Structure formats: C-alpha cells, structure tokens
Amino acid sequence: MQTHNTTDRFRDLMTEDEVIDFLRIPEVSNGADPHNVIDNLRRQRGLPCLHISRQPLYYRPAIRRWLRAEIEKEA
C-alpha cells in the first residue's frame, strides 16, 4: 500500500484554515469568524475551491491567479 506524503505531493492544496492564514484574514478583517469571510469571498467574489469529501480545498496557484485578477479589478 502506497502512502502519500502530503507535505511534498499536495503542498499546493490548502485547507480553509491555511487559506485564512495565507490571505491574512485575521489581520485585515474585524469579523469574529474568519471562516465567514472565506465563505463570503467564495460566494461574492468567486474565490476558487474544490470539495473532496465535502471538505473545501484550495489550490494555491488558483488562489494566486484569483488574487491577481482581483487586484487588477481594483486598479
């Protein structure tokens, strides 16, 4: 049976908590629950994610592309 080393093979897949840290949500939001901020970003601004076994996962390169697109909208 082959085991997967998640730190090497899947480091580009982030959990919601990792995305919260990556986007520095607690530092920039006054909201009590940073998960609500992520939910709103998904629904209202198209934050890309995929679900595996009902667990949202976020592909780091897709998040970076999304960030660039959002920054260009703001410019």
Q: Where are the alpha helices (DSSP H) in the chain?
A: 6-9, 16-22, 25-28, 34-45, 60-74
35 or 5: which carries more pLDDT confidence?
35
50, two tokens: 């995929």
pTM, 2 dp: 0.80
pLDDT on residue 32:
86
Residues 28-69: pLDDT tens digits? 998 889 999 999 999 999 999 999 999 999 999 999 999 999
What pLDDT score does 55 carry? 93
State the DSSP code for 32.
S
Backbone angles phi, psi at 53, to 5 degrees: 50, 45
